[in-house]
């Protein structure tokens, strides 16, 4: 997966993932380019996360996708891995 290295962009991506998964859970379509229109460089990483999330069961989908992004953010920041749950 392609994740941004900038801490602010990492936080933005986590927010976009949460928004996208909430839309999917509500039965709506998600267009990563439209959702990331204010930060278009995050559309590709969002699409990658959603591609993985699409294979997971409904309730676990949101938690696992957000946790995956959060773990990558922690790794990129050099933080020790710890339980996010």
Tell me the three state secondary structure of residue 74.
helix
The rounded percent of the chain whose pLDDT value lies above 90 is 25
Torsion over CA: 31, 34, 40, 46 (sign) = negative
Question: Where residue 72 falls among pLDDT bands split at 50, 70, 90?
Answer: confident
pTM higher than 0.75 for the full model? no
Q: What is the pLDDT of residues 5-30, one digit of tens each?
A: 888 999 999 999 999 999 988 999 88
Tell me the C-alpha distance between 45 and 82, whole Å: 23
C-alpha closest to that of 21 among 12, 30, 13: 30
Asked if residue 71 has pLDDT above 90, the reply is: no
């Amino acid at each position: 997966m392609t994740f941004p290295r900038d801490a602010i962009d990492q936080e933005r991506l986590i927010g976009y993932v949460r928004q996208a998964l909430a839309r999917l859970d509500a039965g709506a379509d998600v267009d990563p380019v439209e959702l990331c229109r204010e930060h278009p460089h995050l559309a590709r990483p969002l699409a990658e996360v959603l591609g993985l999330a699409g294979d997971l069961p409904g309730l676990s989908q949101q938690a696992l996708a957000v946790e995956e992004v959060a773990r990558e953010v922690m790794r990129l920041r050099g933080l020790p891995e710890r339980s996010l749950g």
